[in-house]
Amino acid sequence: MDRKERHRKEIEGLRQNKCWVHGDELIRGITEPSYGLLSGYHIEVQRQFLYQFLYVDLGCLAVPNDQIQGKTTNICQTCQKGAIVYLDSIEEEEE
């Protein structure tokens, strides 16, 4: 699938409040913030599971302690489950 087609499908999915990869209804949830540089594993999770939102990447931004909180976002349960399985398998390999 080329880039233009991917963007078209993604926009159409968002209009319908659905994950354009799985067709699941997106649910509202609160995700934990993540700070610092992402590992290669986290980058791969973001690439493979678009609406997993196990965390929100805040990069290297300094955030005052009184403002550290999760972010409300749309979550695809299938993306999230896939991301958890992927990260668990990485942890098992490293043990």
Residue bearing the bigger pLDDT, 53 or 73 = 73
pLDDT tens readout for residues 55-85 = 665 555 555 555 556 677 888 899 888 888 8
Distance CA 79, CA 62 (A): 29
Give every CB contact of residue 90 below 8 A, 6+ residues apart in sequence: 41
pTM, to two decimals: 0.67
pLDDT of residue 30: 80
Angstrom distance (rounded) from CA 70 to CA 64: 14
Angle at 52 between CA 83 and CA 85, to 5 degrees: 15
